[in-house]
Structure 1
Amino acid sequence: MDVPKDIRHLAGKTSWQHSLSTAEPNLAAQRRAAWSSHYKGEVIRLRMLLTQQAQQSADVLVDEALNKLASFSRSMDLAVASELQKLASIVRSSWSNAHAQAVERQHLGEVWTSLLDPEPPEIPSIDDDEERRRFQLRAEILESNAATSGIVYQELARELLARGVYEPLHFAISYLPYLVPAIDLSTKASYDRIAHAYLSRLAEHTFASWPVGIREALRPVVIPPTTNSPVPTSTEASPALFATTSALVPNSHHTLSEAFDLWRRRKRITGKDKTADEFAKAIARFEELSSTSAIEAITPAMVRTFISLVEQLPFRPKKAVSALPLTEQIALAHAKALPTLSPPTVGKQLTALRAILSVAKDAGWISSNPAQGISVEGAAWEGDERDHFSDEDMRRIYASPLMTDPDACDDTMFWVLFLAPFHGSRPGEHCKLKPTEIVQDDGEWVMRFRRDRRIRPTAASTSETRPRRQKTRSSVRDVPIHWILLEAGFAEFARLQRDCVAEWLFDDLEADKYGDRYKYLSRRINDALRKLGIHEPDKSFYSTRHTMKREGRRLKIDNQSLDQLTGHAPVSVGGRYGQGSPTETLKADLDRLEFRSVPWDDVVLCAHKRLQRFRIIKKHS
């Protein structure tokens, strides 16, 4: 493999070469793939190292430029304050002509911007008009005082840095090469590095001129509103004077944990709950990465920074890695080119944070939700859903020993595999069935997918006693049983379970800590599919649901019937009237599904053998 030119000086060679030490083609291909993967990772690592070195060089050059400015200004405090003022003037002037005039009045003593000037393009920074008004007020009070100069404008530098806003600041940065000729702004990459170093230096500077304890002195003294008190108007005291940095609100009155507890109470969640655990994990990550738990201190910039960091966390790290602090996990993921969290996973973290902050807003703890309006690119569905099984896939699965050998797998796995393609149900729905929900309706055998009535949960509730839920209202439905399943004896299997008073139709399934009875079976089935040679990443047992709908469309089965069978909500308003198609219509449509590539006679014969053995077991149990 050739070493890319940009990193050859780091690799110390122009190519990586290895003997594969074999003449056997398949083994050679495997070894070559392993080496190729290794060195692709090495390219990523070296390019990251190159980027780090380039940024470090930019940091040194910017430090040199600011040191020269400090010598001209007689102190670093004055130099940084001057740069912050220039930066703030550029950004504030982009908000509107009114803000531009306020800047001129504040720093020049007069207004010269004409009201007839066109409104300039806004520089992304503080987006909310009310927040801009408060920022302007704080600036007029504090930035006009030499003792506190820079204390407000540093907030803006941090915001721009968090958002990665570089190009609109060209006017403020373009003079740096005159101070240090080695500074290069000729390419976007080099400009961005200098801009990043410049903003970092301004945002991180510690002013020796500030009075001791100034941040604590500016901490709010007005108690924020409680759930029983009205939200203050814009003319009253703001709950936080500095809303863009958590360090300025060290003793906030409400925390994310309190908001999370309030969310749980509103959702009536007690004991173990999967969504609650996912939300708790997102909050813990936010608190660790942002170094704050104070609700009032959280800003949109902090949320965006959190998202950008979560995107860099390793995907399914080993225990030794997951035990590390999150920042170390991110560094390790970069160093070893580990796969990172997918956009949908990152999106769930944002959803959790937004939901908890929404509860805090409803309670009157904050005036707005800082996570509102923020999104994760790629988190929403973009058409890359599970693929259907091809005719060959169906033959491979249902002609395999899994479905033709009574000893190849347990009865539960066999019946769940058998049910899935004909009925298009979510695979986990079959695992929630009770024997009493396999019944005859107007002479037709049906499966009744139901949710349990809400029961008041207690701390002693177990996964087995929690009420069953369905994904949507349309998921609560009656589905006729396909004639091939009836011929195979599925109704007889359900009767035997009902006669022995089994609580569940498939009573040997182990529920996880959240009460999910399908999770462990799902793993076993998907592992079995991989062993059968179905390796495509977009195919899993859930693909039977897509396969059923695709086969139904091939046979021109009415879409309303397909939606009702699979538990999908009707697309049209008219489809919602009349409570769907009658059972006999659904049965007639369902029985047309046969999947032409599968020899079902062998599967039915296997079912009969299993059923005969099952009768004997139940008789002696």
Structure 2
Amino acid sequence: MAGIWQNPRSKYFWFRMAVPERFRDRVGKREFKYSLETTDRDVARLRHAEKLSEVRALLAQLEAEELVCVDREAKAICQRGLDALAKGNLGANDDGVTDLLAAKDNVAHGLLTFLAYRTRLTWGRDHANLAELELTGEIADPREDDIPASPVGFLNKEEQDAFVARLRALDGDLRYQSYTNRDIARALLARRSWAAAEYEVLLIASAANASVKMRTPLFDALAECVLRYLAEHRFQFWPKNIDRLIPQMAINEAAASAPEATTSTAGVYHLSDCLAQWRVNHRLRPSDVHKTYDEWKLAVDRFIEVHGDIPLDRITRAMVIDYRDLIKGMPTRPAKNIARLPVRDQVALAERQGLRTLAPASVKKHVTAIRSLLEIATIEREWISKNVATKIEVAGSQYNGHERDRLSDADMQTIYGSRYMTDPDACSDTMFWIMFMAPFQGARPGEHCKLRPQDVVREDGVATIRFRNSSSATGGETDLPQIKQKTGSSIRDVPLHWIIAEGGFMDFVALRQSRKAKWLFEDLEADKYGDRYKYLSRQINDALDELGVDASDKAFYSTRHTSKRETRRQRVSEQSADQWHGHSDGRRVGRKYGQGVSIEDLKEDIDKLEYAGVNWDAVVACARYRVSRLFAKHG
């Protein structure tokens, strides 16, 4: 524990904290001891807090370095131990047939068999008796309290019974039972049940002549290495298509179908088949790039990496929950060298280094992908009887009103009084207009970025922005850019705010129309999915960070929340505000021109937005200068 200590000889306060024993050799001392150079207790407390933060950062760095060393040491011990056990098995089977690869298979088979046996002992009396009978040929008479109260591996009866059914399907050849026993190793690995593999860990450590103690970082790291090896080991004598063959054998065994059908792979479907069906349903060609498809494929690839490419009927609810819980620990926007690592390695690295992990909404996307694909398999194709991912929730993924906050009056004054909005050379014209329009027009920034020059019109003398899908306005001209609005409510007409008009926006539009530009904002670069706002978003939010508007719950998108709040402050009707913001009011009121609130009434309401304290005259002057500069450049 760190504490403030006053030196009786100097009257100065000191920072004192014992160095954890495992770090003393690397730190070179037993205690952190620093003079705070003050006799004032209040000042000492502040300096003590600063010093404590420095010391904790140092200890965290030492901890991370130690964990990296521990992981490296664990992998080395695991490899040495397995090699030693394989060589011992090879020596014991000097039959001229067993080679080193076969010896490794023998070791893995023995470890998996005993690991599965001990795990099944925790599943209750019936499973324990069956496991004993299979392994020893007899049932012992243990005391009732010899069966642990908490199961490991597969936690519920349905999963346990399914495991036994798969095992029984392989009674004809004991070697193939290791295929099913690998599921035990995978379940323990997914749940990080290191203590359950104590025997295997200590056996391998002993074979490697290494000393490993329980409940230490080295034990945990070695347990993870051992379980991963057993979960992923592929036996040399297995048929090439065993991943498809064995599950079908288990299915037919449970259904008591004809023996000759057990070798057929027909009717066995995987998540990849569901994903392919999804592409068919959405009429996507092989060359088509689709964001949702790529996101779902990533979720499927990660699920397969965690649990293997198992048939749909072998996917359990516990597997999906384990997958969800594992994905929660993945780092968000990792560097390329981290992103290339396996999922579990990314999670371990994020935990060691304290990296920011995926937001609940991102985790929900992964779970939604699996659930939706299983829904295709259940309802549409009838490949499986039920969707095991139904009603699996992700805590924190539901909107609670605090995910994105509005900008305060002070924030608005800071942003719209900054050089970005008053200096014509501070940023591009596109960035300026997107920022200028946002709080008045109420649209999503991305909606403004995909406007075409012909989307800005005058309807009965009212300057209006029309948000449409490309099919609504192209008139069959295939060379026009393809546009798709987010929702049905997003298709709407929004009158231009008078302050934006004062800035010369219609002149800016006229120049774009005269040049027959395809896009209103031509200089935006789209990503591979056609998102024209992605890269600009980073520039704008970097600018907001520079201006000090950097709270975690605020971003440029907050202007949309700010706009909605301003409508309430100006007592604009909810129906009117919903209509120009592209929100559904729950009554499915049409959002197109001529339906809902009239364009004249919308114009009257939208012109009420002012935002107290912002000097819009300077912004308007900057806008006019930019427009005149463009005309001078293009004539």
Q: Could you state the TM-score of these two structures normalised by the residue count of structure 2?
A: 0.68
* Shift in alpha-carbon separation, 1:153–1:522, aligned structure 2, 3 A: closer
The match for 1:557 is 572
The match for 1:415 is 433
Name the SS of the counterpart of 2:529 in structure 1.
coil
- What 5-or-longer segments of structure 2 have no aligned partner? 1-14, 37-46, 79-106, 140-148, 200-211
* Structure 1 counterpart of 2:302, one-letter code: R
Deviation string 1:353-400 (CA, Å, 9 cap, x unpaired) is 333444444434444445444444334444432221111211111122
2:488 counterpart of 1:469 = no
- Shift in Å at residue 474 of structure 1? 1.0
- Shift in Å at residue 153 of structure 1? 7.4
The match for 1:342 is 359
* Shift in alpha-carbon separation, 1:530–1:133, aligned structure 2, 3 A: closer
CA contact (8 A) 1:88 1:153 kept: no
* Structure 2 counterpart of 1:284, one-letter code: D
Name the SS of the counterpart of 2:525 in structure 1.
coil
2:60 counterpart of 1:41 = yes
- Shift in Å at residue 476 of structure 1? 1.0
Counterpart-to-counterpart distance in 1, 2:110 and 2:422: 83
Q: Could you state the TM-score of these two structures normalised by the residue count of structure 1?
A: 0.69
| Equivalent residues, number | 559
The match for 1:355 is 372
Query: Aligned to 1:322, which of 335, 339, 342?
Result: 339
Deviation string 1:72-129 (CA, Å, 9 cap, x unpaired) is xxxx999997985675465356xxxx999999999999xxxxxxxxxx9999946585
- Shift in Å at residue 286 of structure 1? 3.5
- Taking the TM superposition and a 5 Å limit, the aligned residue runs for 1:12-27 are 13-15=29-31
Name the SS of the counterpart of 1:91 in structure 2.
coil
* Shift in alpha-carbon separation, 1:510–1:534, aligned structure 2, 3 A: same
- Shift in Å at residue 305 of structure 1? 4.2
* Shift in alpha-carbon separation, 1:215–1:430, aligned structure 2, 3 A: closer
Deviation string 1:499-552 (CA, Å, 9 cap, x unpaired) is 332222222322222211212222222222222222222222111111111222
2:538 counterpart of 1:493 = no
Counterpart-to-counterpart distance in 1, 2:616 and 2:242: 79
* Shift in alpha-carbon separation, 1:78–1:439, aligned structure 2, 3 A: closer
2:499 counterpart of 1:484 = yes
The match for 1:535 is 550
- Shift in Å at residue 290 of structure 1? 4.0
Counterpart-to-counterpart distance in 1, 2:231 and 2:628: 80
- Shift in Å at residue 6 of structure 1? 7.6
Query: Aligned to 1:434, which of 443, 452, 466?
Result: 452
Moved more, 146-155 or 559-568: 146-155
CA contact (8 A) 1:143 1:150 kept: no
Counterpart-to-counterpart distance in 1, 2:472 and 2:392: 34
Name the SS of the counterpart of 2:443 in structure 1.
coil
Deviation string 1:477-497 (CA, Å, 9 cap, x unpaired) is 111111111222222322232
The match for 2:294 is 277
Counterpart-to-counterpart distance in 1, 2:231 and 2:304: 24
Counterpart-to-counterpart distance in 2, 1:597 and 1:310: 45
Query: Aligned to 2:517, which of 502, 510, 524?
Result: 502
Name the SS of the counterpart of 1:471 in structure 2.
coil
The match for 1:62 is none
CA RMSD of superposed structures (Å): 5.8
Name the SS of the counterpart of 2:466 in structure 1.
strand
The match for 2:600 is 584
Name the SS of the counterpart of 2:531 in structure 1.
coil
Name the SS of the counterpart of 2:123 in structure 1.
helix
CA contact (8 A) 2:332 2:357 kept: yes
- Taking the TM superposition and a 5 Å limit, the aligned residue runs for 1:200-215 are none
- Shift in Å at residue 163 of structure 1? 3.9
Counterpart-to-counterpart distance in 2, 1:514 and 1:590: 32
The match for 1:446 is 464
Name the SS of the counterpart of 1:453 in structure 2.
helix
- Taking the TM superposition and a 5 Å limit, the aligned residue runs for 1:127-166 are 134-135=162-163, 137=165, 155=183, 159=187, 162-163=190-191
* Shift in alpha-carbon separation, 1:384–1:108, aligned structure 2, 3 A: farther
- Shift in Å at residue 581 of structure 1? 2.0
* Shift in alpha-carbon separation, 1:144–1:161, aligned structure 2, 3 A: farther
Deviation string 1:417-439 (CA, Å, 9 cap, x unpaired) is 11100122111111111222212
The match for 1:594 is 610
Moved more, 314-323 or 549-558: 314-323
CA contact (8 A) 2:494 2:580 kept: yes
* Shift in alpha-carbon separation, 1:609–1:375, aligned structure 2, 3 A: same
* Structure 2 counterpart of 1:500, one-letter code: R
Counterpart-to-counterpart distance in 2, 1:287 and 1:136: 22
Moved more, 344-353 or 44-53: 44-53
- Taking the TM superposition and a 5 Å limit, the aligned residue runs for 1:4-153 are 5=20, 13-15=29-31, 35=54, 38-39=57-58, 41-42=60-61, 44-45=63-64, 88=120, 91=123, 125=154, 134-135=162-163, 137=165
- What 5-or-longer segments of structure 1 have no aligned partner? 21-27, 60-75, 110-119, 174-182, 225-230, 243-247, 456-461
- Shift in Å at residue 273 of structure 1? 2.3
Deviation string 1:175-233 (CA, Å, 9 cap, x unpaired) is xxxxxxxx999xxx89xx99x979x88995999xx9x8699999748979xxxxxx999
Name the SS of the counterpart of 1:440 in structure 2.
strand
- Shift in Å at residue 35 of structure 1? 4.6
* Shift in alpha-carbon separation, 1:19–1:587, aligned structure 2, 3 A: farther
Counterpart-to-counterpart distance in 1, 2:56 and 2:265: 47
* Shift in alpha-carbon separation, 1:388–1:40, aligned structure 2, 3 A: farther
* Shift in alpha-carbon separation, 1:543–1:99, aligned structure 2, 3 A: same
Counterpart-to-counterpart distance in 1, 2:299 and 2:111: 40
Counterpart-to-counterpart distance in 2, 1:526 and 1:206: 44
CA contact (8 A) 1:84 1:202 kept: no
* Shift in alpha-carbon separation, 1:233–1:579, aligned structure 2, 3 A: farther
Counterpart-to-counterpart distance in 2, 1:236 and 1:467: 55
Counterpart-to-counterpart distance in 1, 2:467 and 2:608: 22
Counterpart-to-counterpart distance in 2, 1:437 and 1:205: 57
Deviation string 1:109-164 (CA, Å, 9 cap, x unpaired) is 9xxxxxxxxxx9999946585x6665565577778999999986775675466346
* Shift in alpha-carbon separation, 1:157–1:535, aligned structure 2, 3 A: closer
* Structure 2 counterpart of 1:162, one-letter code: A
2:629 counterpart of 1:613 = yes
- Shift in Å at residue 608 of structure 1? 2.0
Query: Aligned to 1:546, which of 561, 574, 581?
Result: 561
CA contact (8 A) 1:162 1:304 kept: no
* Shift in alpha-carbon separation, 1:442–1:339, aligned structure 2, 3 A: same
- Shift in Å at residue 591 of structure 1? 1.2
* Shift in alpha-carbon separation, 1:579–1:155, aligned structure 2, 3 A: same
Deviation string 1:564-589 (CA, Å, 9 cap, x unpaired) is 2211111x448679953222222222
